Amino acid sequence: MLENNIPDHLKADCALLFQAVREAGAIGQALAKQAVKRWSKPDGSTVTEADITIDSFLNERLMAARPDYGWLSEETPDTPDRLTKQRLWIVDPIDGTNSFVNGTQGWCIGAALTENGKPILAALFQPVPNLFYAAAVGCGTFCNDDAAHPYDGGGFAGARLLGTGRALKILPGISAEPSPQIPLLLRLAHVASGKADIALSLGMRNDWDLAAGDLLVREAGGIVTQSDGLPMVYNQPLAKQNGLLAAGKNRHRAVLAQLEKNL
């Protein structure tokens, strides 16, 4: 288990984060059985009472225990105060809200702790089918009690890609179906655990959709960058990254070369 390998200086934060995300998942499961209210945000995306309830729970649990840390979440108004903090919680209370609303399993709860712009702890819980992904810097990635590793084949033939139709068109030899219904955090978890080979998303993407999954892939042995190959740096004034490319080392290199030709 990952918890057995955590260094002393991260043990308390690790226990706090992992327990909070597990409890948030239980809250989500209970609310999924109810007719929760839903509405549209200004950007057109869906939000529900469950998103707000889980966001409030995680904020209260994590910030009460670590008042000196910063906070960034999809469902909490952002403030510049976080920029002064060395450590920052980055949270997506429900990634895949449409799946949650539709009663399907493609939703999860993700949270990361970053230090000086880099994730050092990550937890992602998919309540159905009860998959808990966790990572700590220097300690690897686990799915439940099993170590996770990406699959890293050569070339693109037969590769399992998670991305939009636009992303699929850029890479030759891939005949996958577009997968916009799979939220970004789950795409990263699937790459980390070898369920998918490549996650590619173009355009600006929010930090809360990436931070936890970023560490999951990197600690599993894969590579995560922005779609231009630059490293992701969190807790910047604009809480967004320029796209997403995650894969095993060899495939990441091959995809990046293809992107440089076509973008």
Helix (H, G, I), strand (E, B) or coil at 104: coil
CB 115 within 8 A of CB 87: yes
**The two three-digit tokens of residue 84, written as one number:** 């002064």
Q: Give the pair of three-digit tokens for residue 13.
A: 């934060």
- Going from N- to C-terminal start, the domains of the chain cover 2-147, 161-262
CA distance 111 to 20: 9
pTM of the model: 0.95
Which of the given ranges, 152-166, 175-189, 233-247, has the highest pLDDT on average?
233-247
Task: Please indicate whether the domains covering 2-147 and 161-262 agree at the CATH topology level.
Answer: no
pLDDT of residue 153 exceeding 90, the answer is no
Which of the four CATH numbers 3.40.190.80, 3.90.1150.10, 3.40.50.720, 3.30.750.24 does domain 161-262 have? 3.40.190.80
At the top level of CATH, the class of 2-147 is: alpha beta
Per-residue confidence at 185, pLDDT binned at 50, 70, 90?
A: very high
Nearest CA among 153, 130, 132 for reference residue 141: 132
Nearest partner of 20 among 63, 62, 73, 74, judged by Cα? 62
- Least confidently predicted of 41-45, 111-115, 259-263: 259-263
